[in-house]
């Protein structure tokens, strides 16, 4: 299958990351092998990188790296965007425009950027990109697809799913789709799909396709509720490390040092959030609201079989 433009961009990004992380550590042949393409393709990538203004050089063993200049330093800083950088920028946005909708949007983008640096390398691998290319092809051609050996956490099963995938989102690792057999809207983690097969069957339920919001726990749900938690430092650290998008919704408590407030809309079934709370309850100060979350947690505890 011919590589699409999106796949090309991600591959070039992977090459950039490799050259930044290990300067003069790879030959063109090694880069080609690691990215699953030909040496001729790497040569084209080098040409694109040079046209973008970055100077490449090689050592006596024909291993490549960047000529160190300001443009390279800017690139290195971007690819090494750290959690510390993120927190500083988020705090700055709070100080400058704490009540601004634009500031909130920027904060979510910053959290997303850091999240990409944390998980992005796995998504740059060829099997993942192949799945994304197939999903985009099926959407463009409006054909049903078979998700083969899908690993479902909800049903605790590995099974095939016949769906109409109308919104593949590589950044959130989520495919929003209509499940043909269950006749319901569903979301699937792209990384949990083992293989994909595009069928000859055209979409039959396009009128039912509807894109829903994704919460900070990467759960797609039309019905969302506002939650409010108070966290100790340990729970704060675990929450933002496990679910980086939650960083945009956490602020230090106004009165008590070392305590953090987490307030945002989440899926009404509390998927992701309830597992976090039960796993780190000893670092939790208080579930402020809603009452439905407290009732859900009580039910989960009562159903535990030790």
pLDDT score of 205 more than 80: yes
Write the CB contacts of 192 (distance below 8 Å, at least 6 apart in sequence): 150, 151, 152, 153
**Of 194, 148, 195, 186, the residue nearest 167 (C-alpha):** 186
| pLDDT greater than 50 at residue 5 | yes
**Contact call for residues 66 and 54 (beta carbons, < 8 A):** yes
**CATH assignment of 5-78, given 3.40.309.10, 3.40.50.1820, 1.10.10.10, 3.90.1580.10?**
1.10.10.10
pLDDT at 118 over 50: no
Between CA 280 and CA 271 the distance in angstroms is 15
User: Which pTM was predicted?
Assistant: 0.52
Phi, psi values for residue 139, rounded to 5°: -65, -45
Any idea where the domains of the chain sit in the sequence? 5-78, 81-123, 126-208, 224-302
Compute the distance between CA of residue 131 and CA of residue 15 in angstroms, rounded to an integer: 20
Burial of 163 (0-12, 13-18, 19+ CB in 10 A): buried
Answer yes or no: same fold for 126-208 and 224-302: no
CATH topology of domain 126-208: SH3 type barrels. (2.30.30)
- CATH for the stretch 224-302: 3.30.70
Say which range, 12-21, 115-124, 185-194, 215-224, has the weakest mean pLDDT: 115-124
Chain segment 148-159, per-residue pLDDT in tens:
999 887 667 899
Residues 232-267 pLDDT 10s? 999 998 898 888 778 878 889 888 888 999 999 999
Give residue 138's pLDDT band: very low, low, confident or very high (50, 70, 90): very high
Kindly give, in sequence order, each residue whose CB lies less than 8 Å from that of residue 205, ignoring residues fewer than 6 positions away. Answer: 164, 178, 180, 183
Residues near 160 by beta carbon (within 8 Å), at least 6 away in sequence: 146, 147, 148, 149, 150
Per-residue model confidence (pLDDT) at position 117: 47
């Amino acid at each position: 299958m011919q590589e699409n433009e999106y796949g090309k961009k991600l591959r070039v990004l992977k090459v950039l990351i490799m050259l930044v992380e290990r300067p003069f550590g790879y030959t063109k042949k090694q880069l080609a092998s690691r990215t699953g393409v030909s040496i001729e393709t790497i040569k084209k990538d080098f040409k694109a990188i040079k046209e973008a203004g970055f100077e490449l050089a090689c050592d006596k063993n024909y291993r490549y790296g960047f000529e160190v200049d300001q443009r390279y330093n800017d690139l290195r800083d971007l690819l090494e965007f750290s959690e510390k950088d993120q927190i500083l920028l988020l705090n700055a946005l709070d100080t400058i425009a704490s009540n601004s909708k634009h500031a909130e949007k920027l904060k979510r983008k910053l959290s997303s950027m850091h999240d990409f640096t944390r998980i992005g390398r796995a998504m740059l691998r060829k099997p993942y990109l192949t799945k994304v290319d197939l999903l985009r092809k099926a959407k463009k051609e409006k054909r049903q697809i078979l998700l083969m050996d899908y690993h479902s956490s909800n049903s605790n099963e590995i099974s095939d799913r016949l769906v109409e995938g109308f919104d593949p989102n590589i950044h959130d690792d989520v495919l929003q789709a209509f499940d043909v057999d269950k006749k319901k809207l569903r979301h699937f983690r792209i990384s949990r799909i083992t293989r994909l097969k595009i069928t000859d069957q055209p979409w039959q339920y396009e009128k039912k396709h509807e894109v829903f919001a994704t919460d900070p726990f990467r759960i797609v749900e039309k019905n969302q509720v506002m939650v409010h938690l108070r966290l100790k430092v340990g729970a704060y650290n675990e929450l933002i490390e496990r679910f980086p998008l939650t960083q945009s919704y956490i602020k230090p408590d106004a009165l008590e040092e070392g305590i953090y407030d987490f307030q945002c809309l989440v899926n009404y079934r509390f998927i992701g959030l309830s597992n976090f709370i039960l796993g780190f309850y000893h670092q939790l100060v208080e579930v402020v609201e809603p009452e439905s979350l407290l009732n859900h947690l009580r039910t989960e505890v009562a159903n535990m079989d030790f």
